[in-house]
Structure 1
Amino acid sequence: MVVNGDPTRPLEPDDARILALESDAVLGHTLKLLVLEPGAQLDVDAVGRRILAGLDSFPRALDRVVAGPAGPVWQRVERIDLDHHVRRRTAGTPHDLRRVVGELMSQHLDRSRPLWTVDLIGPLDDGRHALAVRLHHAMVDGMGGVRFLDAVLFDPHDAPLHPVGVRAAAPPIPRWLEWERMPGALARELGRPGARSPFDRPITRERALAFADLPLDVLRGVGAARPEHATVNDVLLAVVAGGLRRWIGGLPQARGHALPRLRAQIPVSLRVEGEDEAAGNRDSFLNVDLLLHEGDDLRRLDGISAQTRVRKLDHDAALMDDLFRALGRAGSLARAVADNPREFGVAISNVPGPRTTVVVAGRRVERLYTSSEPAAHHALRISAISSADRMGIGFCVDPTAVADVTGLADATHDAFDALAAS
């Protein structure tokens, strides 16, 4: 595909910061894994044609990153090489599939080209195919990744994208109220270092992945049944916390020791309706204690829900974003404090995906998962995405630092079953 060259456009500050984090061990991209219903051999050329037809609807996918006089800039490429961006790989078993996506997560995207690839994997032994979509985080945030899939991969459909994750524009918080709330937000989000987590390890570029799949209606039902209504994300956090409690408690090095206090960092989208989709990443965060010491599943859920409720009511995520931006260059030092492994032990994200069943090349998407990479001294990353009536969870680790990621996925399924039966 030949496209017209465009003037360069500087990366937004948050996107440039994400790009600068890249190293030999930090690769900077996310992965979406789509598992399609059984059928005939998937036609790679047909998938390629669908992608080409949709690229104009997602212009950032036509840009590469180059060095500019004042920092990195987006530059429109003259040609999209489908042989590079759309490829076929073989796998037969679920183990093979996890191995392939682990290999993909351990490979840098080519900076001389637009920062995305689509790998067709299969056919698997049961007749299914999978597509692994890699997107650099400097190119898209969580919601941007869903828009990419909708624009260039899903067959055309009429269902609107999920409104959750995009805020309605609202009047700014008065400055006096913002500063009145700031001490409480700082006390909740920073300055509460805990013990060293099991994931506080140096990392290499090696990656291993596992996945869990949960029914969305049960997650909603569990939350709605609580005296103080718990959101789907609250229930997801409680399920993951239950899985971590079971999994960490079963580690040989944990025997005879109390479970650690483990705080999770929860990314929060600050996008507003009508915002330019090319405006770059707009994320902040909340830090939440996962209450691993609590043995009762429902009390753990209620405790997590109470924490998120206070943080949302007081707009902690927006306040932290405002603080970092107000600090200017000193904001990078504050971010370093926020990223300290003693401040939080694991990042857990949740992105709303397609609201209805979607189709790729005429094949129904049975399962959709997302995976984000671990970071230095945060050797486990947990990511979730909804799709129609399911919630797919991806667990990504550096296997040289954290072993048995499939055991963690199994423990999460067990925790869900226990919470649903409570």
Structure 2
Amino acid sequence: MERLTPLAYAFLAAEDVDPTACLVIGSMAVLEGPAPSADVLRELVAARLPSIPRYTQRVVPSRLGLRAPAWQDAPDLDLAQHVRERPVPAPGGRAELAALVAETMAERMDRDRPLWDLTVCAGLPGGGWGLLSRVHHTLADGVSGTGLYRIVFDSEAGVTEPPPTPPGTAPGVAWQGLATATAAVRGALALGAAMWPVRREGLLGHLDEERRYAWTEVGIAETAAVRRELGVTLNDLVLAAIAGGLRELLLERGRQPDPHALRSLLPVSSRAPGTAGRPDNQVTLMLSMLPVEVEEPVERVLRVHERVAALRRSHEPEAGLVLQALAGLVPFPVLSRGMRWTLRLPQQQISTVTTNVPGPRTPMTCLGRPVRQLLPVVPIADRVRVGFAVLSYADRLAFGITADAASTPDVEALAEHVAASWRAILDGRPVHARATATGSA
């Protein structure tokens, strides 16, 4: 039996110690109608499910808890428990769809069954419908979680615009990329320095069980000229837009954006080429302050670019891999107790999470119905009240925002702020160009 890695087990442990946590990742696909019945979709899933055996397995604890839980074939797999129907409340608009996503994503999964499910959501305007895909983070990370798409979607004609890559991803972010032990030590020191608590002006705090969800979409092709002119990546634009949105949120709440107020966890894929569809967790991290104190949009992009480049030079992702490897050497009873004890401490270092996943590069269909949108959802927990999931689909980029309902009911306004920040970046002029113009005058 294949046993859970320390990282995969951590997502189960987080739920065990926090009754408000639901560590499930997913996405809502919005399709053209008419919606199929759950029975028809179950037939499709039943035919394709054997191609991904992990989706037929459940997590089984070891006897006496001396070893990590393991993946084991689930007896009598009942697809009625995994493919369900839930209509979008009338009138089926944006608010109703967002509320359905938030409510469904906050529901915990039954660990006696395989940790995934699909929900057919009929009732969108114009006869459209949605398909909400959920996968527990123990089963897959953001990249491999899209493997569930292979079971229900088919690809159409291709597009030429490449999707974004997760923040900080680069060849060699794996054991073979550790040139020397010095690099690992430098990365560990950088991670240690990032463990200082953030300022109180941030967004940390107690979470309720209820969630809110909102989204905004932008085009990828429209960024080409800006990226060339500034010498930045699409990920730099993503992080800068999110920083701009959070800046406006803080200002609306009467808080002065502080350079040490908001630190984001940036997942970094450590996958080898060709393994994106394999269900598991192969991810490390970087921790970066978001430049919410910077008012000028283009300057904010350049600040993000500099910080991400500095994190790469400091080898933070490699250090994360080293820590995971060391955790695998610790006896499981010791690891489990230590992990649960740590998770009970009031976390004060990370204000938000920003995960950027390359999605399908070509348009897709489900049972012949075209997919118009893919809206990603990221879980929040451990005093992190707002999380951002970014997913590409063909030539579009969707920002999905999950928020704690009690403390952040204004999540739709935050989505609008992110969209406005994105537009301001594309409409802005480079800092050096403004300086040249000023000098010429």
Alpha-carbon distance in structure 2 between the residues aligned to 1:99 and 1:371: 12
The answer to whether the aligner puts 1:352 opposite 2:358 as a matched pair is yes
Structure 2 distance, partners of 1:167, 1:57, is 29
SS of aligned partner of 2:300: helix
Please state if 1:221 is matched with 2:225.
yes
Superposed CA offset, 1:210-238 (max 9, x none): 11111111234322220xx2111111000
Which residue in the other structure is 1:52 paired with? 46
Q: Is the contact made by 2:163 and 2:392 (CA closer than 8 Å) also made in structure 1?
A: no
1:111 aligns with 2:117: no
What are the residue-to-residue correspondences of 1:135-174 with 2, within 5 Å?
135-149=135-149, 151-155=150-154, 164=165, 171-174=176-179
User: For 1:94-118, what per-residue CA distance to the aligned partner results, in whole angstroms no more than 9, with x for missing partners?
Assistant: 2211111111122111111111111
What does residue range 285-364 of structure 1 map to in structure 2 within 5 Å?
285-326=285-326, 329=330, 341-364=347-370
Distance 1:281 1:97 in 2: 29
- TM-aligned CA distance change 1:340 to 1:158, over 3 Å: farther
Query: Which amino acid in structure 2 is aligned with residue 148 of structure 1?
Result: L
1:159 CA drift (Å): 6.4
Match of residue 214 from structure 2: 210
Aligned counterparts of 2:52 and 2:42: Cα–Cα separation in 1: 15
Post-superposition shift, 1:240?
A: 0.7
On the 8 A contact 1:119/1:132 being kept in 2, the answer is yes
Change in 2 beyond 3 A, CA 1:187/1:13:
closer
Equivalent-residue separation in structure 2 for 1:373 and 1:380 (angstroms): 9
- 3-state secondary structure, aligned to 1:373: coil
CA distance in 2, matches of 1:286, 1:45: 43
| 1:317-368 CA distance string (max 9 Å, x none) | 11232145336559867x959x974322111110000011111111111111
**3-state SS in 2 of match to 1:22:** helix
Shift in alpha-carbon separation, 1:359–1:221, aligned structure 2, 3 A: farther
CA offset at residue 278 of structure 1? 5.5
Paired with 2:351 and 2:226, the residues of 1 have a C-alpha distance of: 26
Q: Tell me, in whole angstroms, the C-alpha distance in 1 between the residues paired with 2:204 and 2:316.
A: 25
The answer to whether residue 247 in structure 2 is matched with residue 242 in structure 1 is no
SS at match of 1:71: coil
> 1-side partners of 2:52 and 2:36: how far apart?
24
| CA spacing shift, 1:163–1:223, aligned 2, 3 Å | closer
* CA shift for structure 1 position 401: 2.4
Give the secondary-structure state (helix, strand or coil) at the position aligned to 1:10: coil
The residue identity in structure 2 corresponding to 1:281 is N
Report the AA paired with residue 71 of structure 1: A
- What SS does the aligned partner of 2:285 have? strand
The correspondence of residues 65-80 of structure 1 with structure 2, limited to 5 A, is 65-69=59-63, 70-80=67-77
Q: Structure 1 length as normaliser, TM-score?
A: 0.88
Q: Which amino acid aligns with 1:103?
A: E
Cα gap change, 1:340 to 1:268, in 2 (>3 Å): farther
Structure 2 length as normaliser, TM-score?
0.84
For 2:14, the aligned partner's letter is L
Distance in 1 (CA, whole Å) between partners of 2:189 and 2:266 is 18
1:11 correspondence with 2:4: yes
Cα-to-partner distance string for 1:291-312 (whole Å, 9 max, x where unaligned): 1111110001001001111222
* Distance across 2 between alignment mates of 1:49 and 1:128: 21
Q: CA RMSD in A?
A: 2.8
Higher mean C-alpha displacement, 132-141 vs 164-173: 164-173
Alignment-derived partner of residue 393 in structure 1? 399
The residue identity in structure 2 corresponding to 1:82 is L
Q: Which of 10, 29, 34 is 1:34 aligned to?
A: 29
The one-letter code sitting in structure 1 at the alignment partner of 2:299 is R
Q: Secondary structure at the match of 2:154?
A: coil
Structure 1 segments unaligned to the other structure (5+ residues): 1-7
Cα distance in structure 1, aligned partners of 2:293 and 2:54: 45
- The corresponding residue for 1:5 is none
Distance 2:222 2:28 in 1: 23
Cα distance, 1:197 vs structure 2 = 4.6
Aligned partner (choices 403, 414, 418) of residue 420 of structure 2: 414
Q: Which runs of 5+ in 2 are unaligned?
A: 429-441
SS of the residue 2:371 aligns to: strand
How far apart, CA to CA, are the structure 1 residues paired with 2:13 and 2:322? 21
Give the deviation of 1:416 after TM superposition.
1.2
The 8 Å contact of residues 376 and 390 in structure 2, kept in 1 or not, is answered as yes
Distance (Å, rounded) in 2 between the aligned partners of 1:129 and 1:246? 33
State the secondary structure of the residue aligned to 1:406.
helix
Please show how residues 169-188 of structure 1 align to structure 2 within 5 Å. 171-179=176-184, 181-182=186-187, 185-186=190-191
After superposition, the Cα gap between the structure-2 partners of 1:239 and 1:266, relative to the gap in structure 1 and judged at 3 Å, is: same
Identical aligned residues as a percent: 26
Distance 2:257 2:236 in 1: 24
Equivalent residues of 1:26, 1:375 under 8 A apart: yes
What's the CA shift for 1:60? Answer: 0.9
